[in-house]
Structure 1
Amino acid sequence: MPIRLLTLDLDNTLWDTDPAIARAEQITHDWISSHCPQAASFYTLDAIREYRQQIAECYPELAFRVSKLREEVLRRVFLQSGLEREQAALMARQAFQVYYRERSNVSLFEGAREALETLASRYPLMAVSNGNADLDIIGIRHLFAGHFNAEQVGAPKPQPEIFLTAVRAAGVNATECLHIGDHQQQDIAAAHRLGMKTIWVNLGDAPWTEESCRPDQEITHLAQLPAAVQVLADRNT
């Protein structure tokens, strides 16, 4: 079965997510300190992080709605700091936008942009992510035919719906799709169960531990990605 669609994970596949999120959270807390000092003194950055974890555990339906979760936590922080309901909601929206812009201020891994440009000239690319990065802010939206995240679809990886949404949007079968990602369970095993071909992006040279399957290809640098895709394309023509 020929390859007609490539789906790609984003966070920790194309860039390192943790530093961007940590920086975005700090910048957001600095903004809160400037615009609502009582909220910043009432909730330190670590306290907000802990509070967000508590809310996610209490409301599982918010756990994968990462944008909604963050804004709701901010709204509650402002409410508990003495703001009126409407003002708290407004401040939460503004604070979240500060976070969101910086969260998407990422540095692509070496070789990522060149690999995406090469692949986008050969295949439609669909981004499938549990995160909420903004491809326009990052500057790579033009390389993707579509972008689906867990919050938008209503289900996170490794559930199948996010993959199937991309497959349906492209008008192909899952068996004609190749998924590329870094996470053994959420990316490789989940896509494998749907009959997709897979490439594991293993930039940290980690051991493979998932027992249910093996990736069809493995790369340790994104410059290797176009060649790995070509190997599978040749194998499936």
Structure 2
Amino acid sequence: MALRLLTLDLDNTLWETDPVIVAAERKTHAWISEHCPQAASFYSLEALREYRNQIAECYPQLRFQVSRLREEVLRRVFMQSGVERERAAALAAEAFQVFYRARSEVTLFEGAAEALQQLAAEYPLIALTNGNADLELIGINTLFRAHFSAEQLGAPKPQPDLFQAALQKADVHAHECIHIGDHQEQDIVAAARLGIKTIWVNLSDAAWAETEVQPDQEITHLSQLPAAVAALAGRMSD
């Protein structure tokens, strides 16, 4: 059966995520310092991170609703600082938008833009993420036919929901799809369990640690991605 769909993870597959999140949190805290100094003095940047982790632990249903979690934490922080309820909600919404815009100020890995453009000309691409990156703000939304997030579906990878949503959207079977991602369990093992072929984006030259499956292809630079897709597509059509 021929290849008919490519699904891609985003964070740490197409860009490095941690520095972007750190910068976005700093920008958000600076905004809070300007617009609600009492909240900033009540919660340092590190204390705010710790409080978010505590809320995630207390409310597991929010753990993968990452946008909702951040805005709810901000609302609570403003209220604890003496801001009345409606104003706290409004400030939280504004502060979250500061974070959200900064969170999408990513730098694509070398070779990513060219690989995406080449692949999008040949196959439909669908993004699957546990995060909340905004493809339009990043500037690559036109390369993707769809974008599904754990927050949107209420279930993160390695649960099958994101993959199943992509297959349904494209009206293809699992054996007609290749998934591309960096995370061994959430991307490669999870996709393979459904019968989806996989390409492991191993930019750090890590050792494969999972025993359940092996990736069908492995790349160490995103410039290798079109060739890896072509090689795997050839095997799928044999």
Do the two structures share a fold, i.e. TM-score over 0.5?
yes
> TM-score scaled by structure 2?
0.99
Tell me the amino acid that sits aligned with residue 143 of structure 2: L
Structure 2 residue aligned with 1:235: 235
Alignment of 1:21-100 (within 5 A): 21-100=21-100
Query: Cα distance, 1:102 vs. partner?
Result: 0.2
Structure 2 residue aligned with 1:13: 13
Gaps of 5+ in 1: none
CA distance in 1, matches of 2:19, 2:110: 16
Query: Cα distance, 1:70 vs. partner?
Result: 0.2
Tell me the amino acid that sits aligned with residue 154 of structure 2: G
Query: Cα distance, 1:165 vs. partner?
Result: 0.4
CA distances 1:159-204 after superposition (whole Å, capped 9, x unpaired): 0001100110011111111000000000000000000000000000
CA distances 1:66-120 after superposition (whole Å, capped 9, x unpaired): 0000000000000000000000000000000000000000000000000000000
- The size of the alignment, in residue pairs, is 237
CA distances 1:109-150 after superposition (whole Å, capped 9, x unpaired): 000000000000000000000000000010000000000000
Q: Find runs of 4+ consecutive structure 1 residues off by over 4 angstroms.
A: none
Gaps of 5+ in 2: none
Structure 2 residue aligned with 1:171: 171
Tell me the amino acid that sits aligned with residue 24 of structure 1: A
Identical residues among aligned pairs (%): 69
CA distance in 2, matches of 1:200, 1:210: 12
Query: Cα distance, 1:236 vs. partner?
Result: 1.1
Tell me the amino acid that sits aligned with residue 106 of structure 1: V
Structure 2 residue aligned with 1:189: 189
Tell me the amino acid that sits aligned with residue 225 of structure 2: L
Query: Cα distance, 1:3 vs. partner?
Result: 1.0
CA distance in 2, matches of 1:187, 1:178: 11
State yes or no: 1:122 paired with 2:127.
no
| Structure 2 residue matching 1:200: 3-state secondary structure | strand
Query: Cα distance, 1:158 vs. partner?
Result: 0.2
| Structure 1 residue matching 2:180: 3-state secondary structure | strand
CA distance in 2, matches of 1:14, 1:79: 37
Structure 1 residue aligned with 2:208: 208
- Aligned-CA RMSD value: 0.4
